Structures are given as C-alpha cells and as structure tokens.
Amino acid sequence: MQAQRQGDSILGQDDGLSHLASEASSLGYEVVDIAGFIDDVEVIAAEQLLVLETVRQAAGRVIEGNGAVQTAVRSVSKNTSETLGAVEHSVEYVRRAGQRSQEVATWVAALTERMEAVANTLDAIKSNNSDIARIASQVNILAINAKIEAARAGDAGRGFAVVADAINELSRQTSGAAESTTRNVSQLAGWIGTLHDESAKISDEARSVIEESHETDTALVRIADSVRGTHDEARHITEEAEKVNDATNIFAPAFEQIGDGIERTATGIGEARGRVHGLIDASERILQGTVALGGSTEDAPFIDRVMEDANRVGGMFTEAIRAGQITAEQLFSRQLQPIPNTDPQQHTAPFNGLLDRLLPQVQEGMLEFDPKVVFCAAVNIDGYLSTHNRKFSQTPGSDPAWNAANCRNRRIFDDRVGLKAGRNTGPFLLQVYRRDMGGGQFAMMKDLSAPIMVDRRHWGGLRVGYKF
C-alpha cells in the first residue's frame, strides 16, 4: 500500500513536471511573441529617432537660413533706403535743372523774337538810307544844274555858284555817309541774322533738353517708385522672417522635447527588450530543467531525436579524423573565405567537403521524421552553416531575396538563436523564435538544438526547426 502511494506520488510528480515543462514551453512562446513585438517597436522607435534627427537638422537649417534671410533683408532694406534717398535727391536735382533749362529756353526764344525786331528795324534803316542816298543824288543833280546856270549867269550868278558848290559837297558827304551807314547796317544785319539762326538752334536744343529732362525726370520717378516698392517689400519680408523666427523658436524646443521623449522611450524599449530576452533565457532554462527532472512535453520526441542525431554527427566527425579524412585543425578551423559575387554573402571553410559528404544522410532523414520539421542543419560555434538541406542549397542567382530563401548553405547565422544553438553545451536547447516570412509577416517556430562533441571537444550544434 505504501509502495502504491509512493508510486502514485512519483507519477503525480512526473505529471507535475510534465505540466511545468508544457507551461514553460507556452511561456517561451508568449515571451518570444512579446519580444518580437518589442523588437518591432524598437525598430519603429529607431526609425522615428532618425526621422526626428532629420527634422531637427532641417529645423536647424531653417533657423540658420531664416537668420541669413533676416540679415540679407536688413541689408537690402538699408541699401534700398539709401538708394531711395539718392534717387529722390537726383529727381529733385533734375527737376531744378529742368526748370533752369526752361528759363534759358524761354529767354532764348525771347531773344530770337528781339533779334527779329532788330532785323526789321535794320531793314527800315536800310530803306531810309536808300531814300537818303536817292535824295542826296537828286540834290547833287540839282546842285550841278544850279552850278551850270550860275556859270551862264556870269558875275551875277557867282554867289549862287558858291552855294551850289556847298550843296554839292553836302550832297556828296550825305551820299557817302548813307553808303557807309548802309554798309554798316548790312554788316550788322548779317551778324544779327547769324545770331538769330544760332539762337534758333539753341532754342531747339533747349527744347530737346527740356523734353529729355522731362523723360529723365519720369524715369527717375519710376525708379524711385520701384526702389520704394522694393524697400516696402524688404520691410515686409523682414516682418515675415521675424514671424518665422518666432515660430521656429517655439517649435525647435518642442522638437527637442519630443526627441528626448522618444530617446527615453527607445532606451526603455531597449531595456525592456533585454529583460524580455532574459525571460526567454529563463523559460528555456526552466524547460530544460523540468525535462532533465523527468518532465515530458510534446517536444520530447524531437528532443530525443536531435540528441541522438547530434551524437551520431559527433561520432562521424571523430571517425573522419581518426581515418585521416580531415585533421582536427581543419575541422575546428574558424577561418572563412568570402565567396565572390554572392548576395547574401557566402563563405568557404576547410571542412566543407567532409560535411557535404557526411551530413545529408542525417539532415535529410530528419525532414522525414515529422511533417512539422522545416529544416535540419549543423552550425559551428560561430553560427557558420556549411551544409544545409538540399532544398535550401540552390545555386545563387541575381535576386538577393530569392537567394536569401533558397541559398542558405555556406552562410553565417550569427543572430541570437543561431549563436546560442552553436554554443550551447547543455543536453539540448529549445528556443522559440519568429521566422521572417517577408512582407512584414512572421511565423512562430521552434529551434531545437543539441551540441556536437568531437572527442569531448565542442564543435557546434545540430539545429532542427519545426512548426508549432
């Protein structure tokens, strides 16, 4: 009876361990799912930080550029103000010069009219001189006739002859004076005519100057109006730039506050991510511990098989060294050579040939063990996967996305799951992870591994990935 109770107690203990193992496995699933969500949030937070930093830099450039605009506009405003003053002064100067030109033109026009009056007077003088000369000629004829008659009269006409001679001399002098006056008046008339013609030309030029001064005045007025408009626009731009400066002074600190908040959030997410990963490690340790104490889960068949196959691979490696097929130095070499023109990058290792011969018989057999199994591959302690399942060992092409899914041999998987699988030295390691299916879709997978020991030396691990 006591033995039966002891057996029932052991059985109950085993059931409890199995239940604990199952709960640990479920806990691992949930924690990994949460960790994946946190990873996504962390990526988004990092992207937001990059965007915010870009915005910060842009805001800084806006502030810097706005300051430069304000400086430039102030300079333009100052220059336009000075230019406006100079133009207005020039307009006033041209106006005064135009007024003086008009006065000169008016005087010249009046002078021309006076010249015409003088010319008319000179013409009248010339006409009068002609009359005087004609009268003097007639008097001279009369004097000659009187002298002839006096000579006929003899002694009686002698006194009359003296008078006739005096009249004749006076006529001659009058005629000479009239001729001299006519010559002088003609010369003066010529000068007056020339002066009249020149004053007429000067009057025309003065009118041209007046017209051009009007045009210049109009042009300067337009320039003054344009400069005045530019000055007003510059002042308006200055006012708007000051508004922009006020706005940037408001939102720049806001960006800083937002940035600080996102940075604190990102830091908190990073800390939460680390703690969640610690929970993942804890759930894995709980599962391993409960299985080691006798607990059983749905993963038990996979655990037994991967441990068995890992021991088998270790034995095959040990035998190959003893048979001289490879040296221990070559098998444990961590020197990898990149394969040119491969994307994702592939590498070669000294042990590729041996693993290509030995591993397919183990790895391909695991694919037939259970329909849930997706892959089976051995990795060294650096996560380097030399030989994969045949379906994942295609020849690389030009499409990196296709290569990533179908050319997974000769590649390094040094992510968290890959490195832990290669470096675990416990009997087994069961990890839960999210497999990227592309397009932002993920599938929850289990990664079960067992260490590969070669003559008690740890080479890496045999990984098996299967679905829930």
Count of other CB atoms within 10 angstroms of residue 326: 17
Would you give the end-to-end CA distance of the chain in angstroms? 42
DSSP-derived secondary structure for 70-99: HHHHHHHHHHHHHHHHHHHHHHHHHHHHHH
pLDDT value of residue 2: 42
Assign 333 to helix, strand or coil: coil
Q: What is the pLDDT of residues 163-175, one digit of tens each?
A: 777 777 777 777 7
For residues 178 and 87, the answer to whether their CB atoms sit within 8 Å is no
d(CA 102, CA 210): 6
Q: Is residue 20 part of a domain?
A: no
pLDDT value of residue 449: 97
d(CA 98, CA 303): 112
Residues 226 and 330 in one domain: no
* Element spanning 144, H or E: helix 2-153
Q: What is the pLDDT of residues 352-365, one digit of tens each?
A: 999 999 999 999 99
- Whether the pLDDT of residue 330 is over 80: the answer is yes
- Give the range of the structural domain holding residue 174, as residue numbers without chain letter: 65-252
Residues 323 and 462 in one domain: yes
Residues 245 and 356 in one domain: no
Q: Is residue 212 part of a domain?
A: yes
- Whether the pLDDT of residue 416 is over 70: the answer is yes
Residues 214 and 356 in one domain: no
Q: What is the pLDDT of residues 272-303, one digit of tens each?
A: 656 655 666 666 666 666 666 555 678 899 99
The contacts of residue 42 (CB under 8 Å, 6+ apart) are 266, 269, 270, 273
What CATH number should be reported for the domain holding residue 192?
Answer: 1.10.287.950
Residues 397 and 317 in one domain: yes
Read off the pLDDT of each residue in 33-57 and give the average, rounded to a whole number.
67
Q: Is residue 47 part of a domain?
A: no
What value does the CA radius of gyration of the chain take, rounded to a whole number of Å?
Answer: 62
* Element spanning 8, H or E: helix 2-153
Q: Is residue 425 part of a domain?
A: yes
d(CA 379, CA 359): 11
Q: Is residue 272 part of a domain?
A: no
- The closest of 413, 404, 396, 316 to 355, measured between CA atoms, is 316
What total number of domains does the chain contain? Answer: 2
For the record, the structure tokens of 394 come out as: 């295609």
d(CA 321, CA 453): 13
Q: Is residue 57 part of a domain?
A: no
